Amino acid sequence: MKKQPSTFPLVVFLLLTLLASPCQLLASQYQVTRVPDGDMIKVDDGTKKITVRLVGIEAPETPKRKNETGQPFNQQSRKHLSSLVLNQVVDIKSYGFDGDGRMLGEVFLRDGMNVNIEMVKAGLAEVYRGKPASGLDMGAYWKAEEEAKAAQRGMWVLGDAYVSPRDWRRMPGN
């Protein structure tokens, strides 16, 4: 009788690969409890509350003080994100944490829709211009932004008057 090869080395290799991965390969489920702005949500998994920064995107800046208006389209962005996820159970694929302790995550609805990319498609967030999270494929994000710009959806209707959130934060008074 011929001896079958052991699967033990393969199992060990797969486990080590999963542990060494820069991101979670398995998404976790969370209840969305709050949407402070167009690229951040607050979630609860039943045991803890977590702030999630939607990785790969940047939404128009909200006002820092009560009497200010913030960046154009900030309210539309927040409201659109709220309409997609507020009070929903979502899956989050984590890419670690940012310097403020927020989870960097891709958020998925039960039907599989990538909420991060949906925000870009709607023209209510741009692709993050900094260094992308390790392991995050930015191709679909850039494609979604090109399509939103071409269709002049959301903030892209501003044309040359559009200011990136990154540049907006650097402007005096913001």
Domain 23-170: which topology? OB fold (Dihydrolipoamide Acetyltransferase, E2P) (2.40.50)
pLDDT exceeds 80 at position 7 = no
pLDDT exceeds 80 at position 102 = yes
User: Among candidates 18, 47, 49, which has minimal Cα distance to 36?
Assistant: 49
Interior angle at CA 140, CA 137 and CA 141, nearest 5: 90
pTM metric for this prediction: 0.83
- Secondary structure of 96-149 in the HEC alphabet? EECCCCCEEEEEECCCCCEHHHHHHHCCCCEECCCCCCCCCCCHHHHHHHHHHH
- With a CB cutoff of 8 Å and minimum separation 6, the contacts of 120 are 57, 126, 127, 141, 144, 145, 148
Whether 128 and 116 have beta carbons less than 8 Å apart is answered as no
Question: In which residue are the tokens 């979502």 written?
Answer: 90
Q: What is the four-CA torsion angle of 161, 128, 172, 76, rounded to 10 degrees?
A: 60
pLDDT exceeds 90 at position 63 = no
Please give the average per-residue pLDDT across 92-101, as a whole number.
95
pLDDT tens-digit readout, 10-55: 444 444 444 444 444 446 789 999 999 999 999 998 899 999 999 9
Q: What percent of the chain has pLDDT over 70?
A: 84
Q: Which residues are catalytic?
A: 53, 61, 102
Question: In which residue are the tokens 């850039």 written?
Answer: 142
Q: DSSP 3-state assignment of 168?
A: helix
